[in-house]
Structure 1
């Protein structure tokens, strides 16, 4: 890949736009994590994974360009690479800001996932404790049938 194949303005602009799309997904994920249900989360997670893969490909192309120019694949290398292409500097600076926003949103979403997981684990623990006196009880038997909650009859028995 040479300078003529990798157009810094176009490629960095695509990476910036893809990062904006990723931020939109992260915001939708955050909203879904704050709702009681989980129905949207799987679809959002799949979309997020697809977008992250696209971002990785765009980043790989940029890093390949830097390597071919003999520059490091970091901020200093980009500064050197963009010396010959000042038109791409604005998109690069915006990309850096967007990447920071995406990182912060992703951290917040990770905290929300952790909180949701803890809540679910606590709810299961409370159910197990209240239904079986705190013993190492299961809500279902090994054959998949529900266990009785109150020591009497199995569910469905008359």
Structure 2
């Protein structure tokens, strides 16, 4: 692949822009994780997966270009590949900074997901304990009728 097929400036600019979009999705995800309820999270997860797939495809194209030039697919290879295109080198540096921002946001979101999961697991444990703890802790019988929490007779029973 030659520079005429792979335009470093255009391709790295697309990757930079896609990374900005990914950061927007991550920020939206973070805001949704801080809200009660989870109604938006599935939609956001789908957007996040789509953005991640697009970023992977753009990175694959860049790495293919580097391989065809005989360079390694790392920072050194990119520096060598971009020697003749200083404008693309500036965009590459911006992309690296955005990638770091995306990584940090993703780590924070992972922590928020973990906290939400722990809270949900604790709530489930409390509910399970109250339903399996014995007759005195059940609110309803197996037939769906209310059951007294502390035993004894219900009002109106003789």
Find the counterpart in structure 1 of residue 6 from structure 2. 6
Could you tell me how far 1:106 is from its partner in structure 2?
A: 0.4
Relative to structure 1, the CA distance from residue 151 to residue 26 in structure 2 (aligned partners, 3 Å threshold; closer, same or farther) is closer
- Compare CA radii of gyration and give the structure with the larger one: 2
Shift of residue 156, structure 1, vs aligned partner: 6.1
What TM-score, normalized to structure 1? Answer: 0.86
Q: 1:149 aligns with which of 134, 138, 153?
A: 138
Q: Distance in 1 between matches of 2:85 and 2:77?
A: 13
Q: Which runs of 5+ in 1 are unaligned?
A: 135-147
Unaligned runs of 5+ in 2: 147-158
**Residue 89 of structure 1: how far off its partner (Å):** 1.1
Aligned to 2:152: none
Residue 131 of structure 1 deviates from its aligned partner by 2.6
1: CA distance, partners of 2:140 / 2:36:
32
Q: Which residue of 2 aligns with 1:71?
A: 71
State the alpha-carbon separation in 2 of the partners of residues 27 and 155 from structure 1. 44
Q: Aligned residue for 1:121? A: 121
> What is the TM-score normalised by the length of structure 2?
0.86
The aligned runs of 1:70-109 (5 Å cut-off) are: 70-109=70-109
What is the number of equivalent residue pairs in this alignment?
A: 144
Alignment partner of 1:36 is 2:25: no
Two-structure CA RMSD over aligned residues (Å): 1.7
Cα offset for 1:132? 2.2
